[in-house]
Amino acid sequence: MHQYYLEDVTKLFGRGQAAVRGINLVVDRGERVALIGPSGAGKTTLFRLLNCTLRPTTGMLRINGDETGNLHGKKLLRVRSNIGTIYQQHNLVPRLKVVHNVLSGRLGRWSTFRSLASLVKPSDIDMAHEALNQVGIPDRIFDRTDELSGGQQQRVAIARVLVQNPEVILADEPVSSVDPSLANAIVQLLIEISRNARKSLIASLHSIDLALAYFPRIVGIKQGKVLFDLSPDNISDDLLAELYGAQSSDPKATEPS
Ligand SMILES: Nc1ncnc2c1ncn2[C@@H]1O[C@H](COP(=O)(O)OP(=O)(O)O)[C@@H](O)[C@H]1O
Ligand SMILES: [Mg+2]
């Protein structure tokens, strides 16, 4: 059984503009996949389909054999609790202490009451501490989140996913807001987590170099479609030029951002 099975998945917005058009993609447990492609290609929309925030307009998306169109209520919550998402704007609550943001990773698993009550239990503090230790900032546990640097906040977001302990980690431009050396460290950290805990990792990356250096499988997305799905050594400069090249509908869209 595949972790993700997408067949001809299309997502239309508004008056019928296709953000994702006819995507076929299979991802198995423990795989590490980088998504690359120009701005507006449909990467974020694809992530929102993969974490069940959006549903396909047409086509089929199965997660561990369950067709997401048929998932509702508790079943949908259970599927979603097994998917951890890290966003570019890391979606932390800035005024809360680090420990609370990290423990909010459990919100999908527990009732709201238990989640809130849990914030004071020593065992949960231990869990948060352990996760922060793994991302290299255990000493910041009781600091206010907005007192941390951008890179440290991204680590808090990763610690939150560790506490959630999902089968799949989706990371949508996880390092776009940090400097290059830190970006390298954070991507390495995500790879390590995926490897050690046998979690699938699907990450969109702005930096082609990072994608090629760390991921065994690179999926190029252009105009809502999969342009290629290859190992890094099969990706030529010509192919990258085609991926980021001018799009017929928008001749200015050549920026790889
Ligand atoms: N909620 C939305 N409503 C209408 N159009 C959207 C919405 N979200 C994304 N789009 C459009 O879908 C296309 C793909 O966007 P997106 O998935 O954000 O691409 P990427 O993440 O690759 O930059 C873009 O043309 C964008 O404007
Ligand atoms: Mg995006």
Q: How many domains does the chain have?
A: 2
Distance CA 210, CA 180 (A): 10
**Whether residues 170 and 78 fall in one domain:** yes
The pLDDT, as a whole number, for residue 251 is: 44
pLDDT digits (tens, 9 = 90+) for 150-189: 889 989 999 999 999 999 999 999 988 788 888 898 899 9
For residue 43 and ligand 1, the question of a CB distance below 6 A is answered with yes
**Whether residues 60 and 27 fall in one domain:** yes
The pLDDT, as a whole number, for residue 247 is: 57
Q: Best of 11, 21, 44 to mutate for ligand 1, by most ligand atoms within 8 A of CB?
A: 44
Q: What are phi and psi of 38, to 5 degrees?
A: -65, 165
**Whether residues 203 and 101 fall in one domain:** no
The pLDDT, as a whole number, for residue 116 is: 60
Q: What pTM does this model have?
A: 0.90
Q: Which residues contact 18 (CB under 8 A, 6 or more apart)?
A: 10, 11, 12, 224
Q: Which domain holds residue 201?
A: 1-82+166-257
Taking the CA of residue 173 as reference, the ligand 1 atom at the shortest distance is 21
Q: Which uninterrupted H or E stretch holds 219?
A: strand 217-222
The pLDDT, as a whole number, for residue 124 is: 83
Using DSSP, state whether 158 is helix, strand or coil.
helix
Nearest CA to ligand 1 atom 14: 42
Counting as low any pLDDT under 70, the low residues of the chain are 90, 108-120, 246-257
Query: Considering 138, 165, 192, which residue would you say is the last residue of a domain?
Result: 165
Taking the CA of residue 18 as reference, the ligand 1 atom at the shortest distance is 12
